[in-house]
Chain A
Amino acid sequence: GENVEQHPSTLSVQEGDSAVIKCTYSDSASNYFPWYKQELGKGPQLIIDIRSNVGEKKDQRIAVTLNKTAKHFSLHITETQPEDSAVYFCAASNNAGNMLTFGGGTRLMVKP
């Protein structure tokens, strides 16, 4: 089955700096890679996703890149703000909405 590794497990940055979270996956059949943000006491919220036919996708301060050859994908957050503080999970699936395999999560702390 699919295995997703996520690094780092914790990340602390100053407000305004950039944050990068990296994930690797094992199953070359995976073609859908969502990123979820989970704030304390809440369920995961989808923030951005990318499909395997695209190398990069941006949405305001958030971008995701995908390297299919190397089987890794990354989340980039620019101009971080305190409200970006949360746990971020990457995931992989062989079809959008299908069974998701999650990475272990990254706790991002943005210091004012």
Chain B
Amino acid sequence: DTEVTQTPKHLVMGMTNKKSLKCEQHMGHRAMYWYKQKAKKPPELMFVYSYEKLSINESVPSRFSPECPNSSLLNLHLHALQPEDSALYLCASSQDFGGGWQYFGPGTRLTVT
């Protein structure tokens, strides 16, 4: 199974809402990533978890809060977002951080109104 799944596929939220994005993989990968992708742009790294610990935070605003409950799951909690946060949010995983290529999920299309 070489699949990374993400839910929901689409999400529309208001600026005062709280919502969460979910990502799951069952490949035994120990590194998981959140990326943000704007239209016609490459993915931008937001966070990296390695062995369930946050390894990298690319200076992401605190209105984005990642969580890694276990080695298979990765969440991204959203609160008080701005319209400019509307984007495709991609999750990826790799065998280790620095060992093996990254597999991407299909993404969650987020619209902030």
Which residue numbers of A lie inside 8 Å of B, CB to CB? 34, 36, 41-46, 49, 89, 95-100, 102-105
B90 nearest CB neighbor, chain A only: A43
Task: Identify whether the interface residues of A are mostly helix, strand, loop, or mixed.
Answer: loop
Interface range for B: 20 to 34
A103 nearest CB neighbor, chain B only: B42
| CA distance in complex: A46, B93 (Å) | 12
B92 neighbours in A (Cβ, 8 Å): 43
Within 8 A of A (CB), among B56-113: 56, 90, 92, 94-107
State whether A96 touches B103 (Cβ < 8 A).
no
Contact of A105 among B42, B99, B104 (CB under 8 A): B42
Q: Which of B6, B98, B102 has the most CB of A within 10 A?
A: B102
A43 neighbours in B (Cβ, 8 Å): 4, 6, 90, 92, 104-107
A102 nearest CB neighbor, chain B only: B42
B88 nearest CB neighbor, chain A only: A43
